[in-house]
Amino acid sequence: MRKRGPKPKGKVKIEWSPNFAYAIGLLATDGNLSPDGRHISFTSKDLELARLFIKCLGIKNTIGRKASGATKEKKYFVVQFGDVNFYRFLLNIGITPRKSLILGSVSIPDRYFADFLRGCLDGDGTFYSYWDPRWKSSFMFYTVFISASRDHIFWLRRRIQDMLGIVGHVTTSRKKNSWYQLKYAKRESLKLLRKLYYDNAVACLTRKREKIEKALGIMGRKL
């Protein structure tokens, strides 16, 4: 009988923590699994996110650059590495190759769901605010999660409702390549954001957090 070779050593320590869950959120939005069963990559326009991804997974990795679409300008930052064990772990929790349209639920422990969700917000989410001209002194703001997968966006909605009792609302584009938006307005948004940024030291995209804090400051509120 032929002896089995040694088990592949993983670069990533697979252990749930706030930082680990945040990195999984980044992967669920801006990550990619190669069909080869080994390689994982994360792509972002933000260098800070690429660095946070490396830090939160506890790996040593270089950050590459790449172009996208017709442009030759390499404005995207890329982290790519091979890790069979971590790849299999991602498959087991629901993150698969070519996930954009088929991503559904992701197995995240309740304790770390807020960290995962903050990763999703920093990856493919957005926050915006504005003065509503229909009413005097009416300042509005929204927290939004975006996905091409209907199943994933409605799963997020259910998990957030279970966690905080807020419902939000879902909109969709009417374009050929449709996408879904899960939106939380003012009151619900404030409740959600305070859950996501529960500590000043949590991993997050600095410019997005500062944008949120500035908007809340207009209302005399804080995270």
Amino acid of residue 176: K
Q: How many residues does the chain have?
A: 223
Structural domain boundaries in the chain: 18-104, 122-218
Q: Which CATH number fits domain 18-104: 3.90.79.10, 1.10.3720.10, 3.10.110.10, 3.10.28.10?
A: 3.10.28.10
Is residue 83 predicted with pLDDT exceeding 90?
Answer: yes
Q: How many CA atoms within 13 Å lie on the side-chain side of 144? A: 15
Q: Could you give the CA distance from residue 194 to residue 190 in angstroms, rounded to a whole number?
A: 6
* End-to-end C-alpha distance for the chain, whole angstroms: 62
Give the H/E segment covering residue 50.
helix 47-57
Is residue 91 predicted with pLDDT exceeding 60?
Answer: yes
Could you read off the pLDDT of 92-146 as tens digits, one per residue?
999 999 888 899 999 999 999 999 999 999 999 999 999 987 776 789 999 999 9
Selection from 213, 195, 208 nearest residue 52 by Cα: 208
Q: Could you give the CA distance from residue 131 to residue 115 in angstroms, rounded to a whole number?
A: 30
Is residue 2 predicted with pLDDT exceeding 80?
Answer: no
Q: How far is residue 86 CA from its own chain's centroid? A: 18
Predicted local confidence at residue 1, as pLDDT: 47
69 burial level (CB within 10 Å; 0-12, 13-18, 19+): exposed
Could you read off the pLDDT of 59-79 as tens digits, one per residue?
999 999 988 766 777 889 999
CATH number listed for the domain at residues 122-218: 3.10.28.10
Same fold, 18-104 and 122-218: yes
